[in-house]
């Protein structure tokens, strides 16, 4: 039996053990439409039961020694390495990842677990001064039960980056993966922690639709909700959580800018731009969605970027050596094509691509855009690179900031100029002489404006803030004297 053998999870979800479900959904390969298996679908009632059980088990898990919790996280990281090939196969077939992206994602998962293994040993508060004869402490306590709702594009790491720190800090977790990636974004994580020695009932895997997600948010035991996904859904979750007085950590969409400064190396800049726009078919919140190029370089850059796009082969990453795999489903494929065709109809010009290719989309370059065209204003979530020019640094800053999102910006060229430009940009992340897609387990990750509620992932400071509560504790040598 393999690590991810369907005999373990087929037709089931995981809630205090693997449970058969009367409701099931197929696991589908987007490149071919083939069925890869069947997962059990949870109901709102299942969520309620899981939340109650999680609240029971959480107290014992939080009382487990820091060394024991750290050991579970370390073992989870080791298991990701031991079973990397099998996990990568699922990322390729279920999520449409090309092989290199699948390997990168599995490596990030390993690093996330090792990074979070250190969290139980981090300082859990601070000693405060007090004007009275007592000790005064602010200590961090586990939030309790954490609800994690994860997307399809990097399904493994975007769920794990909340699951791992929440567990390490003594919380229980309800995980709802995207239905389209329930194995690579759900079953994999549940199996890893099951084998790593996490006690039963601490982590619950609850695949399902929006009703299941709403139940996770509304369960009284859930005190923190961590959501990664689209801005409209994130707004709805934030509103619902706010009414229930729960914290919601929201990592949402992006329409990220890559600025190419005068004097930049055009060949290297085009390579960076192609990677930023076309990695994983552009289905990344950090994808380079706007190329802002100095007027002295824009023609040369566009030609170089178009040549890169034309050379990228589209196909089935499980059976071919390709640069671009399928989009996640037909609806997303048609949406991307609609944005491109609507923009062309409005006057934009195709320098490359613009065509559906089987279950995928050709790497596309658009020029001649105005800022009101959909390919410029919207988060496309496809392999499309719109290009405009600028003349001054002030104009570049204005174009970058003229966007509802603020997640990631790359600036290519002179470092001094880039530093001054970075100081004028509204963005959660700025990368000088790099493109927009970057993530490391120890680095804070998050956006501003419609991209979310700031950095609530990555590194001890963000993770402790995200998944614990602060408790004020005082201690004095004797019972105090009171005037009553």
The catalytic residues are: 251, 285
From residue 112, give the alpha-carbon distance in Å to each of 68, 136, 140, 151, 202: 17, 34, 21, 17, 19
pLDDT of residue 137: 97
pLDDT of residue 1: 78
pLDDT of residue 132: 85
Of residues 337, 398, 407, the one with CA closest to residue 371:
398
CA-based torsion, 74, 75, 78, 84: positive or negative: negative
- Domain ranges (residues) in the chain: 6-252+452-473, 256-432
Q: Do 256-432 and 6-252+452-473 fall under one CATH topology?
A: no
Q: Is residue 201 within 8 Å of residue 53, measured between CB atoms?
A: yes
- Hey, what are 152's tokens? 């399809």
pLDDT of residue 328: 97
CATH class of 6-252+452-473: alpha beta
pLDDT of residue 131: 87
From residue 262, give the alpha-carbon distance in Å to each of 228, 274, 433: 36, 19, 13
What region, left, alpha or beta, does residue 446 occupy, with left being phi > 0 and alpha being psi -120 to 50 degrees? left
CA separation for the pair 152, 28 (Å, rounded): 13
Task: Render each residue's pLDDT in the chain as its tens digit; 484 residues.
Answer: 799 999 999 999 999 999 999 999 999 999 999 999 999 999 999 999 999 999 999 999 999 999 999 999 999 999 999 999 999 999 999 999 999 999 999 999 999 999 999 999 999 999 999 988 899 999 999 999 999 999 999 999 999 999 999 999 999 999 999 999 999 999 999 999 999 999 999 999 999 999 999 999 999 999 999 999 999 999 999 999 999 999 999 999 999 999 999 999 999 999 999 999 999 999 999 999 999 999 999 999 999 999 999 999 999 999 999 999 999 999 999 999 999 999 999 999 999 999 999 999 999 999 999 999 999 999 999 999 999 999 999 999 999 999 999 999 999 999 999 999 999 999 999 999 999 999 999 999 999 999 999 988 898 999 999 999 999 999 999 999 999 9
Is the CATH code 3.40.309.10 the one for domain 256-432? yes
Verdict on whether the full-model pTM lies above 0.75: yes
């Amino acid at each position: 039996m393999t690590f991810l053998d369907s005999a373990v999870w087929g037709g089931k979800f995981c809630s205090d053990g693997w449970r058969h479900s009367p409701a099931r959904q197929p696991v589908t390969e987007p490149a071919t439409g083939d069925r890869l298996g069947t997962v059990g679908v949870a109901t709102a009632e299942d969520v309620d039961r899981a939340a109650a059980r999680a609240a029971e088990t959480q107290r014992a898990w939080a009382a487990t020694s820091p060394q024991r919790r750290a050991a579970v996280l370390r073992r989870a990281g080791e298991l990701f390495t031991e079973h990397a090939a099998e996990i990568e196969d699922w990322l390729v077939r279920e999520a449409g990842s090309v092989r290199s992206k699948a390997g990168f994602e599995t490596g990030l998962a390993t690093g996330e677990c090792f990074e979070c293994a250190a969290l139980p040993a981090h300082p859990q508060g601070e000693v405060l001064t007090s004007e009275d004869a007592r000790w005064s402490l602010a200590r961090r306590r586990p939030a309790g039960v954490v609800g994690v709702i994860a997307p399809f594009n990097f399904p493994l790491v975007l769920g794990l980056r909340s699951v791992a720190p929440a567990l390490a800090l003594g919380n229980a977790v309800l995980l709802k993966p995207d239905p389209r990636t329930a194995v690579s974004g759900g079953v994999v994580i549940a199996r890893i922690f099951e084998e790593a020695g996490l006690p039963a009932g601490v982590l619950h895997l609850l695949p399902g639709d929006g009703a299941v997600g709403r139940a996770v948010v509304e369960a009284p035991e859930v005190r923190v909700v961590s959501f990664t996904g689209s801005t409209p859904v994130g707004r709805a979750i934030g509103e619902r959580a706010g009414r229930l007085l729960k914290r919601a950590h929201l990592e949402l969409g992006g329409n990220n800018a890559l600025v190419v400064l005068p004097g930049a190396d055009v060949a290297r800049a085009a390579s960076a731009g192609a990677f930023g726009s076309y990695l994983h078919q552009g289905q990344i919140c950090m994808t380079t969605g706007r190329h802002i190029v100095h007027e002295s370089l824009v023609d040369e850059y566009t030609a170089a970027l178009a040549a890169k796009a034309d050379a990228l082969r589209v196909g089935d990453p499980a059976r071919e050596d390709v640069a671009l795999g399928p989009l996640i489903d037909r609806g997303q494929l048609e949406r991307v094509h609609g944005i491109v065709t609507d923009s062309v109809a409005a006057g934009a010009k195709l320098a490359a691509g613009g065509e559906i290719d089987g279950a995928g989309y050709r790497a596309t370059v658009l020029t001649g855009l105005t800022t009101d065209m959909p390919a410029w204003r919207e988060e496309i979530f496809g392999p499309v690179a719109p290009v405009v020019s600028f003349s001054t640094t002030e104009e570049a800053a204005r174009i970058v900031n003229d966007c509802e999102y603020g997640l990631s910006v790359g600036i290519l060229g002179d470092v001094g100029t880039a530093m001054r430009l970075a100081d004028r940009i509204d963005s959660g992340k700025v990368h000088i002489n790099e493109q927009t897609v970057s993530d490391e387990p120890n680095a804070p990750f998050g956006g501003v404006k419609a991209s979310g509620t700031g950095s609530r992932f990555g590194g001890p400071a963000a993770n402790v803030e995200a998944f614990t509560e602060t408790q004020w504790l005082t201690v004095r040598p004797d019972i105090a004297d009171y005037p009553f």
